[in-house]
Amino acid sequence: MITTGTSDCLIVTGMPGAGKSTVTRLVAERLQRAARLDGDFISRLVVSGRVGALGEPADEAARQVELCNRNLCTLANNFSDAGFTPVIDWVIPSREQLDFFAGLLPTRRVLFVVLAPGIEVCRYRNTIRNPRERFDFDGYEDLDADMKRELGDAGWWFDTAALTPEETADRIIREASQRARVN
């Protein structure tokens, strides 16, 4: 079970529409002391010159993704040092990025949960979101294949297709410590 006072850092990832934002908010609300760290929010702190993760030029997009990852880890370490469990919501598509996180969280027990309800569920959930929260994305098949190839043996691949967000959050709190550890 995830409890306050440990050095756990929970990272929840998945494709657009997997439920990351809703589930991480619910997990953080259920813990006694937690901070939800939203990678989309952190990346949007860059106001001028922002290049999204899939944007061009690709080298600048990669540089800004790395900056966001560094900032997420710095915040996670700061919150953890202050007694809060960091709950990170961010798309981590590769082993290289997961290893980067683990390397910047060396004194934390990193728990990595991949919300994996399936491509069609993610597409559907993305379409029913508030229009301001929708992510126009047509690369589900490629991202799914890449994540499975790169991260298929990492953490906990959690099929949430038949679960409510509340049920998903409750199971993550109960089971992530045993199923999701990557270091």
| pLDDT tens per residue across span 73-119 | 999 999 999 999 999 999 999 999 999 999 999 999 999 999 999 99
Task: For residue 4, name the pLDDT band (cuts at 50, 70, 90).
Answer: low
Distance of CA 116 to the CA centre of its chain: 12
Cα dihedral across residues 181, 37, 1, 159: positive or negative: negative
pTM of the model: 0.94
Task: For residue 183, name the pLDDT band (cuts at 50, 70, 90).
Answer: confident
| pLDDT tens per residue across span 130-154 | 887 777 778 889 999 999 999 999 9
pLDDT in the model for residue 7: 81
pLDDT in the model for residue 147: 95
- Mapped onto helix, strand or coil, the DSSP state of residue 157 is strand
Beta bridge partners of 25: none
- % of the chain exceeding 90 in pLDDT: 83
Distance of CA 60 to the CA centre of its chain: 22
Mean pLDDT, rounded, for 56-70: 95
Distance of CA 53 to the CA centre of its chain: 14
Cα dihedral across residues 170, 174, 177, 179: positive or negative: negative
